[in-house]
A and B are shown apart, each in its own frame.
Chain A
Amino acid sequence: MSNGIYTEMIEKSPRIDKLYDALFQAKPEVVADRAVLLTESYKQTEDLPMITRRALAFAHILENIPITIRDNELVVGSTCLKSRSCQLFPEFSFQWILDELDTMGTRSADPFYVSEETKEKIREVCKYWKGKTTSEFATSLMGKETLLAIEHNIFTTGNYFYNGVGHVTVAYGKVLEVGFEGIAKEAAEELVKCKVSDADYVTKSAFLKAVIICCDAACKYAERYSALATEMAQNCNDPIRKQELLTIAQNCKRVPRKGATSFYEACQSFWFVQMLIQTESNGHSVSPGRFDQYMNPYFKADLDKGAITREFGQELVDCLWIKLNDMNKIRDAASAEGFAGYSLFQNLIAGGQDSQGLDATNDMSYMCINATMHVLLPQPSFSVRVWNKSPHEFLIRAAELTRTGVGLPAYYNDEVIIPALVNRGLTLEDARDYNIIGCVEPQKAGKTDGWHDAAFFNMCRPLELVFSNGVDKGVQISKKTGDVAEMSTFEQFYDAYKTQTSYMIELMVNADNAIDVAHAQRCPLPFLSGMIDNCIEKGKSAQEGGAVYNFTGPQGFGVANMADSLYAVKQLVFDQKKITMAELKEALDNNYGYGMDDDKAQQLTVGIMAGLKERGIEITEKLIAEVYNNIKGQNTGKYQHILDLINQVPKFGNDNDDVDSFARDVAYTYTRPLETYKNPRGGVYQAGLYPVSANVPLGKQTGATPDGRLAYTPVADGVSPSAGKDINGPTASANSVSKLDHYIASNGTLFNMKFHPSALKGRAGLESFVSLIRGYFDQKGSHVQFNVVSKETLKDAQANPDKYRGLVVRVAGYSALFTTLSKSLQDDIINRTEQGGF
């Protein structure tokens, strides 16, 4: 207990283990039910407004899609008959589905089984969608320079190009309070106010009617579960389960139609909202947000009445955590690598302050920690908000969770995020009430259409364009910023980088805005929009600009690589004059002499030839062969001296003020130009600095960089220092990262740290860990998450020490950097881990 709040662990019910086991009994599978029903409906509504068609299709799906109640479930509602299976959404894109139908089951990242029968249905359905998807429409809206830049992997907008947008937190609390009947009533009242002669009557009335259709469909869908539960109860011989089913039947009859009258009903109502949003559209990162805030009042009321025990309350929360892992989504093969791990990024956050600026940590905040410890599953993406008045015990409990190695929670800093959001135009009250979407993106729930994951922008690629004078694989895809070898000052070089970056940002904005318009016109979402202010009042969907706050947040990554690269160029080429730009360019073109595969060598040769031709040099077969062999060749050691020089230059991540302030400035080359643009929903662009897991696949498309990074290896993740470059321990690394401007990257920054469980050993370990987080946040870092590493990682660290130079382990009476320890000691620590325990 602390301040009357119950902070203790509550025991896990055996039911949760059974539900957990059931979750993994079947392989993830693609099913066609939704796609078939959607297409049926669309074929019958071709002469209606799009918003109406969307609502009718939603209703048709909910009326007919197969439903099930799984064994042992207390909270019901599943998108598919089998756990972790997924529906398809051909209205966004289908070509990749057809192309990959036979490889989905066997691909390396996130495979999904597809039955022959399903394949047949999908092929049939897709015939209808040719020319009708958001992706095809978006392509037609993009400029040709933009399409070229995408083709050349400068940035990727694949996420919303292929899929729904998601990335939203609706007003869950409102549904819990008034039910969908209440929302429909609100729409109906607005409709009464409309006059047929109003300029926007046609669109507004169509939208409001669509909202009413969707609300009604959701209520009826729940009633199907009520009927199913009643039927199952009749056939059930186990008296306990029978009673459970009858209660489920009762719950689903009442919610989400009406407001919840108990915590159990609130859980069921929450779940229908969560799963139905993901039935209307397949956007991921549909984030429950401040679950502890909108759920706790129902729990406390029941507790005060003596209507619930803490144990049963916890069991219900645990059931929801399992349900959040029951849903799934298939992505195209390339995107699956960027979002690896079947993740839906349903971010759920606990703690922090309320809209009045008072600490809001409550019983439910701790129950969220308990639930995550009970299930140890990736969903929800569990986060905690930290501010100067966060209860110490809350952070200690969170640190205990971190210590399990599950990689959760992520920690967010109110002291940075609130002013950053105010700077973007949120009211102070709304900013204080923020939650996190997806990975790290802050916003105000129920009022925002944030487009938080709008693109990945690879900050390394514009630098490649500086070295190639705007040419990529032989094609002039960007501006000519001049021959690098001719540049006489660092400022000239840096300006060229800024020019290339700014130009590519312009094209990325064009791509995002095209996709934005495509969604508004082809896939407005009336069900979702009914739960976002002020869609009903404005009479338009969130996709058409109905939300109070509208943003587009494409994220840049590779800050550390660019900081280290530009700093190395400044030091070695311009200040110390140890190498010439021509020498550096040659070393980069040849991947520092480390060779590469045939395809890459060929691509690069083409690029270099085009560059030479441009300069009037005659291209001969002999020259081509020479360059090709040179590039492809094995490590000759020819460029090793350059690599050695680069390695001696200080790197970001070591609390070196010179390099760190440089990194701050480099981040601005992305964040500053971006914030000048506007989106079609009437909002502005804001930058994020995080890569999800795209730093690996997109690194594969990036040549060698002047920080000594070899071609096609991963780019640095988030705002973290490049792997293995931060060699002065966690405090130095955190200090460096905190020197970036986290306020301006208001779409979120991501800082990964690695720890060995032993560093968190005992109460003292937890205390130090919490102090480290507090210290980083005192210095205005925005987010941090921790990988508490396993023995496998330690073995890898032993084999590849350069990759793990920042890894902290506890040794005997002290902690140390793992890679600085002797082999025998490393073995000892690895073996110790093998024996388990902390």
Chain B
Amino acid sequence: MENYLDQKGRVFNVQKFSIHDGPGIRTIIFLKGCFLRCKWCCNPESQSHEIQQMTVGGVTKTVGEDVTVREMIEKILKDRIYYRRSGGGVTLSGGEMLYQPEFSSALLRACKENGISTAVESTACASFDKIEKCLPYIDYYLMDIKHFNSDKHKQFTGQPNELILENARKIAKSDVELIIRVPVIPTFNDTVEEITDIAKFAKTLDGVKELHLLPYHAFGSDKYKGLGRKYLMEDIVAPASEKMEQLKSAVENCGLKCQIGG
């Protein structure tokens, strides 16, 4: 690629004025394609890299669009004044930004060259060379660790967790600020023991001080129907707030700061 600004990628949404995904006012870029197939995923349209049609509320729309880094950075820069005022910036979400490492790396680089703070929401479930490409341009790495038991991890997400845990150790050694996030999914990982296992592991990672617990919600369920898929978590109810508080204490007992919600 002659100019990294011409690098193409596939995104399916740009959410401006996002105030709960990383510090300050942020623009979130949702990238298409993911390595995992989490049963509770609230963005099922993000999973396949293919451009799809989705029908929600009687309206069919195309999910996914090919764009250049140049086009994206123009959109991003429109809100730079708000990033500066709030200490915010850009967050790459998905899907999984490592599914399109060339594009993600180029887009993050463009942000940094324009003085914009960056965050990624990633599972880190990819070979480390892909992560390495992006690391120099990332300020906050919000990394999902969903379960410490690899078999159960595979059963609910389609992938084992060894690579994820190994990458977590490597990322922790880099300069980025690593924050561990755990989606709390009833029937999967919502016991004190399971959360404690993850927290204990997180505590061993260099520089990790914080763990966020994200309570399960069913807000994506309409979209499964819209994609002609079956929603497998229909019977699951969101965890009660007492439950979340209990899990939060468990995390704090491991010596980490913990917050509920992103």
A165-190 CB contacts (< 8 Å) to partner B: none
> Would you give the shortest CB distance from A161 to chain B, in whole angstroms?
43
Instruction: Report the separation of the CA atoms of residues A778 and B81 in the bound assembly, to the nearest whole angstrom.
Output: 8
The answer to whether the Cβ of B221 comes within 8 Å of any Cβ in the partner chain is: yes
Please list the residues of chain A having a beta carbon within 8 angstroms of any beta carbon in chain B.
655, 728-732, 735, 759, 764-765, 767-768, 771-772, 774-775, 778-779, 808, 810-816, 821-825, 828
Structural contact, B57 and A814, CB atoms closer than 8 A? no
Instruction: Report the separation of the CA atoms of residues A822 and B59 in the bound assembly, to the nearest whole angstrom.
Output: 11
Instruction: Report the separation of the CA atoms of residues A778 and B261 in the bound assembly, to the nearest whole angstrom.
Output: 31
Residues of A within 8 A of B25 (CB): 731, 768, 771-772, 775
Q: Given A768-B25, A771-B24 in contact, is the A731-B18 Cβ separation under 8 Å?
A: no
The answer to whether the Cβ of B70 comes within 8 Å of any Cβ in the partner chain is: no
Structural contact, B15 and A814, CB atoms closer than 8 A? yes
> Would you give the shortest CB distance from A657 to chain B, in whole angstroms?
9
Residue in chain A with minimal CB distance to B56? A822
The answer to whether the Cβ of B190 comes within 8 Å of any Cβ in the partner chain is: no
Structural contact, A815 and B82, CB atoms closer than 8 A? no
Q: Given A771-B24, A772-B25 in contact, is the A808-B17 Cβ separation under 8 Å?
A: yes
> Would you give the shortest CB distance from B194 to chain A, in whole angstroms?
20
Residue in chain A with minimal CB distance to B58? A823
> Would you give the shortest CB distance from B135 to chain A, in whole angstroms?
24
Structural contact, A764 and B19, CB atoms closer than 8 A? yes
Indicate the size class of the contact surface on chain B: 20 to 34
Instruction: Report the separation of the CA atoms of residues A779 and B80 in the bound assembly, to the nearest whole angstrom.
Output: 11
Residues of A within 8 A of B86 (CB): 767-768, 771-772, 775
Residues of B within 8 A of A732 (CB): 16, 78-79
B64-97 CB contacts (< 8 Å) to partner A: 78-79, 81-82, 84-86, 88
Residue in chain A with minimal CB distance to B217? A812
Residue in chain A with minimal CB distance to B216? A812
Residues of A within 8 A of B82 (CB): 731, 771-772, 775
Structural contact, A775 and B222, CB atoms closer than 8 A? no
Q: Given A771-B25, A812-B219, A813-B261 in contact, is the A823-B79 Cβ separation under 8 Å?
A: no
Residue in chain A with minimal CB distance to B93? A814
Structural contact, A730 and B20, CB atoms closer than 8 A? no
Structural contact, B85 and A810, CB atoms closer than 8 A? no
B1-44 CB contacts (< 8 Å) to partner A: 15-21, 24-25, 28
> Would you give the shortest CB distance from A99 to chain B, in whole angstroms?
50
Structural contact, A731 and B88, CB atoms closer than 8 A? no
Structural contact, B85 and A813, CB atoms closer than 8 A? no
Residue in chain A with minimal CB distance to B261? A813
Q: Given A731-B25, A735-B78, A775-B81 in contact, is the A765-B17 Cβ separation under 8 Å?
A: no
> Would you give the shortest CB distance from B61 to chain A, in whole angstroms?
11
> Would you give the shortest CB distance from B13 to chain A, in whole angstroms?
10
The answer to whether the Cβ of B207 comes within 8 Å of any Cβ in the partner chain is: no
Instruction: Report the separation of the CA atoms of residues A97 and B222 in the bound assembly, to the nearest whole angstrom.
Output: 58
The answer to whether the Cβ of B192 comes within 8 Å of any Cβ in the partner chain is: no
Structural contact, A729 and B19, CB atoms closer than 8 A? no
Cβ-neighbour of B16 out of A728, A765, A768, A771 (below 8 A): A728
Residues of B within 8 A of A811 (CB): 219
> Would you give the shortest CB distance from A809 to chain B, in whole angstroms?
11
> Would you give the shortest CB distance from B210 to chain A, in whole angstroms?
14
Instruction: Report the separation of the CA atoms of residues A808 and B215 in the bound assembly, to the nearest whole angstrom.
Output: 22
Residues of B within 8 A of A825 (CB): 219, 222
Structural contact, B19 and A816, CB atoms closer than 8 A? no
B207-235: contact bitstring with A at CB < 8 Å (1 yes, 0 no)?
00000001101010111000000000000
Instruction: Report the separation of the CA atoms of residues A681 and B25 in the bound assembly, to the nearest whole angstrom.
Output: 48
Instruction: Report the separation of the CA atoms of residues A408 and B49 in the bound assembly, to the nearest whole angstrom.
Output: 47
The answer to whether the Cβ of B262 comes within 8 Å of any Cβ in the partner chain is: yes
Structural contact, A778 and B85, CB atoms closer than 8 A? yes
Residues of A within 8 A of B217 (CB): 812
Looking at B57, B88, B217, the one whose CB has the most chain A CB atoms below 10 A away is B57
> Would you give the shortest CB distance from A822 to chain B, in whole angstroms?
4
Instruction: Report the separation of the CA atoms of residues A772 and B86 in the bound assembly, to the nearest whole angstrom.
Output: 8
Structural contact, A759 and B19, CB atoms closer than 8 A? yes
Residues of B within 8 A of A823 (CB): 57, 222
Q: Given A728-B16, A815-B19 in contact, is the A771-B222 Cβ separation under 8 Å?
A: no
